[in-house]
Amino acid sequence: MPRFLTDFIQACMDGLLTGALYALIGMGLALIFGVMRIVNFAHGAFLMVGMYVSWVLFDKFQVNPYIGFLISGLFLFVFGYLVYRALIQPIRDRSDFMQILMTTGIALILVDSVQLKFGADYHQTIIDLTNRPPFSFGAFTLNRAALLSFVIAGVFIVGLQQFVVRSRTGQALRAIAQNREVAPLMGINVTMIQGFSFALGIAMAGLAGGLLLPALYLFPSVGEDYTLKAFVIVVLGGMGSIEGAAIGGLVLGMTESITSAYLGQQWALAVDFILFLLVLSLKPSGIFGRQRA
């Protein structure tokens, strides 16, 4: 196989591995947007909290991050629900502007609180798996830690999608996304389902945070890029479509990886936003079909 082809395939595979985590993050944001019509500008900050939870477990109790991420998810579910009840529910019918201010404010408070408690130092989480030589087959190699988080993220992506399509709560959630005025006439408790969806979306960010921990340096504002990326993913997939966000995440992961391979890593974020602007200006309903599910 010619070199340029193996390089390209390698970049695509690396991109898919990262993309699965992006998908998880984007699906959480899409879920919240779909059910509440709120763009959660604190999404990356919640992800960062998930990383810190997993890091504390690792640092203080030697819990492997590939187990700790589950606790991050659970913690963020409860935390997300409390934030919803205290701060989001009172403003859910207010203007977009109010919602942007509120979620941005939550992000600032989370980042600064974590900085107060844990300091601004960088932390690295070194586990056995990250030091093992990469998994290789033929001309290709794959990072073992990234491969493991890809598999785990895949399980949660499929699980969430199936939950939304098949379960009774999932059905209620889609009903609210499509017609919030009529959903209560079906007997759906909109306030309760919205709280649950918000918590679930935040839990997805928490899980992704836990899974990202071994791959990244940890510091309080590590989540900032992820808020923007999650937003790009959701726009790529069509605002509010959960399946679209999953595909959008994979596309973004591959775009970044290919950009890094050919132009250098410093261009990755720039290309993200070029893609974002292209989609917004050429096909604002997202690259994948219908407006929302």
- Interacting residues with other proteins (CB under 8 A): 168, 171-172, 174-175, 178-179, 181-182, 184-190, 290, 292-293
Phi-psi region of 241 (alpha: psi -120 to 50; beta: other; left: phi over 0): beta
User: What is the residue type of 270?
Assistant: A
CB-nearer residue toward other proteins: 146 or 188: 188
Q: With respect to other proteins, which residue has the nearer C-beta, 42 or 293?
A: 293
Q: How far is it, in rounded angstroms, from Cα 172 to Cα 83?
A: 22
Closer to other proteins by Cβ: residue 161 or 171: 171
| CA 143/CA 145 separation, integer angstroms | 6
Comparing CB distances to other proteins, the nearer of 176 and 213 is 176
**Which residues on adjacent β-strands are paired with residue 135?**
142
Tell me the closest approach of the beta carbon of residue 182 to other proteins, in angstroms: 5
Task: For residue 29, give the nearest of 41, 15, 16, 17 by alpha carbon.
Answer: 41
Phi, psi of 217 (to 5 degrees): -75, 140
Q: How far is the CB of 243 from other proteins (least distance, A)?
A: 12
- Least distance (Å) between residue 267 CB and other proteins: 37
Q: How far is the CB of 184 from other proteins (least distance, A)?
A: 4
* Minimum separation from the CB atom of position 187 to other proteins (A): 4
* Least distance to other proteins, CB of residue 56, Å: 40
Smaller CB separation from other proteins, 107 or 188: 188
Helix ranges, the chain (H): 3-36, 43-61, 65-83, 96-118, 128-131, 144-166, 168-178, 190-212, 224-237, 242-263, 268-282
**Which of these, 88, 69, 91, lies nearest to 203 by C-alpha position?**
69
**Closer of 105 and 184 to other proteins (Cβ):** 184
CB of 32 to other proteins, least distance (A): 18
Residue 170 CA: distances (Å) to CA of 76, 123, 197, 224, 292: 20, 38, 9, 29, 15
∠ CA 240-227-236, nearest 5°, is 40
Q: Which is nearer to other proteins, 172 or 233 (CB)?
A: 172
CA angle 149, 205, 80 (to 5 degrees): 145
